[in-house]
Structure 1
Amino acid sequence: MTQQNEQIELKDSERQKCEVWTRVMGYHRPVQSFNIGKKGEFEERVCFTEKSAQGHGEIHRTCCGR
């Protein structure tokens, strides 16, 4: 097996928009359908691990997919 380190590049015309969904109040909803206030809340969210909730870990933004 050989590994290839080639970068795949797409033209803008070959790309498609990605729809982001999130869970709010037990329901999954597309972020696009949020009002301006809820979109702002979504952008300010921080994810945490169980340890950080107990004060033993760090807060990680990357777990939210951003």
Structure 2
Amino acid sequence: MSDKLDQLGIKDSERTPCEIWTRVMGYHRPISSFNIGKQGEVAERKYFSEKKCRDELNRKL
């Protein structure tokens, strides 16, 4: 079954790279244009997840 699924997908060489942008100081910039320090800062960011917060609250109750 997994062989058939592999045949339906596209190869990594056929994929289009996705550029990730973020909002910095009121305007949007691609993360790829950041220096190494700023890229590290972006990698360490924590993002809000409503589901995770709700699950945590339910566990405490």
| Global fold match (TM > 0.5) | yes
Q: Which runs of 4+ in 1 moved over 2 A?
A: none
Aligned-residue CA RMSD (Å): 2.3
Query: Whose strand proportion is higher, 1 or 2?
Result: 1
Query: Whose helix proportion is higher, 1 or 2?
Result: 2
Q: Percent identity?
A: 61
Where does residue 13 of structure 2 map in the other structure? Answer: 13
TM-score, normalised to structure 2's length?
Answer: 0.62
What's the CA shift for 1:12?
A: 2.1
TM-score, normalised to structure 1's length?
Answer: 0.58
Q: Runs of 5+ in structure 2 lacking a partner?
A: 54-61
Q: Runs of 5+ in structure 1 lacking a partner?
A: 1-6, 52-56, 59-66
Q: Describe the SS at the equivalent of 2:23.
A: strand
Aligned length: 47
